[in-house]
A and B are shown apart, each in its own frame.
Chain A
Amino acid sequence: MSCPDKQVLSAWMDNELTETEAEKIANHVNSCHKCKSYINSQKLLETVWREGWEDPVKKDFEQMRNTLQQKNPSKKWWKTERTWYIAAVLCAAYLGVKIFVVDNAGTSLSDIAMSEQHTDDTPASEVSFEAADLEAEVVVVAENDDEIENENEDFVIPAEEAEEIVVFEFAESDIQESSPSVDDIVAEGSSGYSATGYGSGGPLEEETSDIDACQIQMADDALVEFTASDAPSGLSSGDAMNSVTSGAAGGGSSGGTDHRMVGGSVAAVPEECIEEEILDVTAQSSSADTFVSRGRNLLKNSSVQVVLSSGTIASISSTLWPSLFDLLESVLESNPLFENSDIMLFVDETGVVSGPGVENGTVIELPDQSYSDCVIHIHF
């Protein structure tokens, strides 16, 4: 018998051949000096390498675990999933969110709305959500979220305790880049602000986004408010508010500020997510003309935008990424109410897709590795 291929020898060495094949090779190796030598030297080299491994010290693992914990301080860590932040930020930037700035006396200072569509003539002070209007309970994850978690598993805390809860804290320098509206706020001369989220309509469960209002308390006592009436169509007020607050929080993370959550649908924001993605996405999503692609029949009126993890917007078409368009078609087919609305999907590095209308664990094939961890914005 002539010497087998190295690949076969290699497979024999790894016990990956069938019994018959293995026996044949074994007989040959026993009688072939050359093959025996190859196997022996290979085994020697690999064994020395494998056994030369030394585990790092225990302390290093503890350190890593601590870092992991710090990056995910919320009790329910899946709430940190960036999909919802990016979705909310993009939707808000695209559709427009109304923001009012009022002073502490309740006088409207300026209308710094991102959208021109707001038709409510009511003065901001009257639209604003007063703490006194709160129902019996509100849902807020606060600065001292641990204590709240321990006291109340559902994050439901009495209204009187919620009033002073600080949700966001950032420095002036941190928020300048997040959105035009925030620039205006900075122009008011504030050196920083905090925000408080309020909810009404009864106890809010952790997963709801039924938040009616959010106030940002400026250092000069001015208030920036996001109210239910400011929510763009297709978004719940909670989404609208979260989108603004998340976007504003983006800069805050760079200063190492704790990220807090307003309402049930948003948890702590991963630092890298905010810095690398939300801000980039916010900046780029305003250019609606970058939306490309027309899909198939069901999707003929849809536009799809893919934002890569690098922050760049990728070109996309149904031929480049057929599995995505198959998925979108099935999403729209089973959720006809999505028509004329915007949704966001998140695709992780293994092709697992998450988002509204998508069944848990759905996997699609990525065109290439650069599409891993991307966000897909669809206007159906």
Chain B
Amino acid sequence: MFIHFVYLIVAQITDIEQGLLERAVQGDKEAFGEIVVMYEKRVFRVARRMCKCDDDAWDITQSAFLKAMRAMHNFKTEYRFFTWIYRIVTNTAINYSRSQVRRSEVEFDEEYGHNGQTSTNNSVIEESNRSLLVTAVQNAVEQLSPALRSVFVLRVDQELSYEEIGSILDIATGTVMSRLNRARNSVKTLVLKELGGEL
């Protein structure tokens, strides 16, 4: 019974979104505004995970919605809006980070990534609090190359499937898998380096 109720709600929400998208494609600004409200948190979150500070994330979010707004008449409503907007925001974030002063990008090979992985000792997590770890992971993510970072954010933070990530970034599922593995290894190595211990 409860499941049916949930399905009903989800179906209704989907219908509402579809209606809004159709109106937005026709140029209805108010409908697009409502779509912005529906997606702004997720878009901002992706943007923030992909960049170094809140200000940059707001710029990226705003820019992504502006791009979507201008290209909305080209959007085909049979496709999923979230895939489209995620593609725009990740591309915007990647371009944004490239336009900033380049930091040395870190890409570790698999061997380097082995550090610390065999340990069963949770010393670091015991000694450092969660916020330290969150910061350390965020710092590590920021040091990834844009290609690795986008895959990492979309999978680990947004919990999208490999197929969805591949569709958003226009890469093969196998590429998603290998990039994600490299990203995970790099992040872990960098976190260990920053916290000076093992996980």
Contact = CB atoms under 8 A, between A and B. Distances in A.
Interface of A: 6-7, 10-11, 14, 16, 33-34, 37-38, 41-42, 44-46, 48-50, 52-53, 55-56, 60-61, 64-65, 67-69, 71-72, 74-82, 270, 348-350, 352, 354, 360-361, 369, 372
Contacts of B54: 56
9 closest A-B pairs by CB: A52-B134, A41-B199, A49-B137, A7-B181, A76-B27, A78-B73, A37-B120, A46-B156, A10-B181
B69 A77 contact: yes
Interface in B4-44: 27, 29, 32-33, 36-37, 40-41, 44
Nearest to A34: B118
Contact of A16 (B61, B137, B156, B177): B177
Contacts, number: 146
A48 B65 contact: no
A352 B58 contact: no
A16 B29 contact: no
Interface of B: 27, 29, 32-33, 36-37, 40-41, 44-45, 54, 58, 61-62, 65-67, 69-74, 76, 87-88, 91-92, 94-95, 98, 110, 113, 116-120, 122, 125, 130-131, 133-134, 137-138, 141, 155-157, 159, 161-162, 177-178, 180-181, 184-185, 187-188, 191, 199
Contacts of A48: 130, 133-134, 137
A61 B44 CA distance: 9
Given A42-B184, A50-B156, A77-B69, A350 B91 contact: yes
Contact of A14 (B65, B131, B162, B178): B162
Given A14-B155, A64-B58, A67-B62, A6 B181 contact: yes
23 contacts: A7-B178, A7-B181, A10-B177, A14-B180, A16-B161, A16-B177, A34-B118, A41-B119, A45-B187, A45-B199, A48-B137, A49-B141, A49-B157, A52-B131, A61-B40, A68-B66, A69-B33, A77-B32, A348-B67, A349-B67, A349-B91, A350-B87, A361-B74
Label chain B's interface by main secondary structure.
Answer: helix
A158 B104 CA distance: 62
A240 B120 CA distance: 73
B141 to A, nearest CB: 8
Given A37-B118, A49-B138, A61-B40, A44 B113 contact: no
Contacts of A80: 70
B51 to A, nearest CB: 14
Contact of B162 (A16, A71, A350): A16
Contacts of B61: 64
B184 A348 contact: no
